């Protein structure tokens, strides 16, 4: 009897260990570039040349993170992700939260995934489709500096609950509510509510997102509503992408009024090379005030391996407020290297 009991306990222990298998992964991306930037405001120009992090002059911002998953059995998993952003040119943190990229814990199954913490907004993923074929996630995306001239959208939400659905025939969706924090007697905690619906099947991808951001300072509301459409199609020899974003601000503040933004892009792969071009245009209206922005970007990259990429790019942006002294022009020329680990 004792021998049978010991065998049974050993079997249970082994099965429990199998059900509770877990993994933890350290990952990261380091992107640095030699860049030259010229900024002209009201006809007066300044130049800057030096090494910059990829967030300001390259493919993507540098980062490192830890992610893990535990198999709880029955198709249920527990997951977590902690991601830090940093400037490779000087070693400092690029933003204030230590884990600014993401910091969440989640449960996932065949019914989808529920995340708690700091996560990307559903709108962010839709914007990504519009920029999918432009090579650049950051500096050389033509919309950067052009979109959101009246107020851009929140990329991430703190104190959030996010649900990501599984795929159904090419469709999937996400919904988020971020409660905000740091509420005071005169300032309400900012909140974000958003959702998206995305479709991807073979070479085609189409998506829509809605996002509402609410902030109150004293008795003044500063609310923004965003509606975004994006599409991409891969022809094999070239891939095209396009996006449209509409923002409406409710408050009598700088973020009030309306933004309309358009972008198009093309990416052409040639063996280990990839060449891209993109154009973006925006118009911001707030009563008698009208601001227009436009920009284009050209880029090329060469994959030395699956993890290491050389790149170069050029971007030019112009923002016109109708007042000569406030007209702004930015040009950026850069060459760099990105390594993933």
Residue 97 is predicted with a pLDDT of 87
Mean pLDDT over 315-332 rounds to 86
Confidence (pLDDT) at 72: 98
Taking only the tens place, the pLDDT of each residue in 143-180 is 666 765 556 789 999 999 999 999 999 999 999 999 97
CATH class of 24-340: mainly beta
Answer for the pair 196, 245: CB distance below 8 angstroms, yes or no: no
Whole-angstrom Cα distance, residue 193 to residue 212?
A: 5
Query: Domain segments of the chain: what residues?
Result: 24-340
Predicted confidence (pLDDT) per residue in 8-58, tens digit? 444 444 444 444 578 999 999 999 999 999 999 888 999 999 999 999 899
Backbone angles phi, psi at 152, to 5 degrees: -90, 170
- Look up tokens 């009563």; give the residue: 287
d(CA 315, CA 16): 56
Rounded Cα distance between 328 and 321, Å, is: 9
Q: What is the pLDDT of residue 251?
A: 64
Both tokens of residue 161? 């609950």
User: Are 89 and 337 in contact, with CB atoms under 8 Å apart?
Assistant: no
Indicate yes or no: pTM above 0.85: yes
Beta strands 204-217; 224-234: pairing state: antiparallel
Which pLDDT belongs to residue 221?
Answer: 66
- CB distance 190 to 158 below 8 Å: no
Mean pLDDT value across residues 193-220: 90
Query: Over the stretch 260-290, which tens digit does the pLDDT of each residue have?
Result: 999 999 999 999 999 999 999 999 888 888 8
Give pLDDT, residue 150: 54
H helices of the chain, in order, are 2-19, 54-57, 122-130
């Amino acid at each position: 009897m004792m021998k049978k009991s010991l065998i049974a306990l050993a079997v249970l222990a082994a099965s429990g260990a199998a059900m509770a298998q877990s993994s933890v992964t350290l990952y990261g991306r380091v992107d640095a570039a030699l860049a030259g930037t010229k900024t002209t405001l009201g006809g007066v120009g300044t130049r800057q040349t030096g090494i910059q992090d990829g967030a300001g002059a390259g493919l993507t911002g540098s980062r490192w993170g830890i992610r893990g998953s535990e198999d709880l059995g029955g198709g249920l998993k527990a997951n977590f992700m902690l991601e830090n952003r940093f400037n490779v040119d000087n070693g400092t943190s690029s933003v204030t939260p230590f884990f600014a990229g993401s910091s969440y814990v989640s449960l996932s199954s065949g019914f989808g995934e529920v995340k708690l913490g700091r996560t990307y907004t559903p709108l962010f993923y839709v914007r990504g489709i519009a920029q999918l074929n432009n090579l650049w996630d950051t500096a050389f995306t033509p919309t950067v500096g052009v979109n959101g001239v009246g107020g851009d959208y929140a990329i991430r939400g703190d104190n959030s609950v996010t649900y990501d659905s599984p795929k159904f025939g090419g469709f999937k969706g996400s919904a988020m509510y971020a409660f905000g924090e740091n509420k005071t007697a005169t300032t309400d905690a900012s909140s974000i509510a958003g959702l998206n619906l995305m479709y991807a099947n073979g070479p085609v991808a189409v998506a829509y997102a809605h996002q509402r951001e609410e902030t109150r300072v004293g008795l003044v509301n500063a609310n923004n509503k965003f509606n975004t459409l994006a599409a991409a199609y891969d022809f094999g020899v070239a891939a095209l992408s396009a996006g449209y974003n509409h923002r409406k601000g409710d408050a009598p503040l700088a973020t009030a009024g309306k933004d309309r933004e358009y972008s198009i892009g093309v990416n052409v792969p040639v063996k280990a090379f990839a060449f891209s071009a993109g154009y973006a245009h925006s118009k911001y209206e707030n009563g008698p005030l009208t601001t227009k922005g436009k920009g284009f970007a050209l880029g090329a990259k060469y994959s030395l391996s699956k993890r290491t990429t050389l790149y170069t790019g050029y971007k030019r942006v112009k923002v016109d407020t109708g007042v000569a002294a406030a007209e702004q022009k930015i040009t950026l020329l850069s060459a760099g290297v990105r390594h993933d680990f």
